[in-house]
Amino acid sequence: MNAYVYILQCADGRYYVGSTRGSLEMRVAEHNNGSYGGYTKSRRPVSLVYWEVFDRITDAIAAERQLKGWSRTKKEALIRGDITALRKASRNRTGHPHPSSGSG
C-alpha cells in the first residue's frame, strides 16, 4: 500500500501539508467534506497541488515534517517544479546554502 505526502491549497490561499496511507483521492475528499476538524475544515474547499509517493508511511511522515518547516516561497517552488527557485529559497540570509539543503 502506497503512502503519500501532499500539499493542499486552501480556499484562503494558504497551504496545508499532510501525509496519508492508501487512497490520496479519498483523503482529499475527506478534507473537502470536513470529515476532520482542524486546519482545513474552515478553509474549504481545498485543492491538491502537490504529492509524492512513498513505499513506507514513515518516509511520508518524515517528508511531511520537512515540508511543514519550509517557507511559502520554497513550497511554491516545489509545487511548480522549479528547482532553481527551490535552491535559491533554500539559502539563508547570508547567501550560503542552508545546512539541510545539501550542496546548494
Domain spanning 1-69: CATH 3.40.1440.10: yes
User: Which amino acid, 59?
Assistant: D
Nearest to 70 by CA among 24, 31, 15: 15
| pLDDT single digits (tens) 11-45 | 999 999 999 999 999 999 999 999 988 999 999 99
Domain residue extents for the chain: 1-69, 70-104
| pLDDT single digits (tens) 81-104 | 999 999 998 885 445 555 554 444
Rounded-to-integer distance, Cα 99 and Cα 12, Å: 32
> 28 in helix, strand or coil?
helix
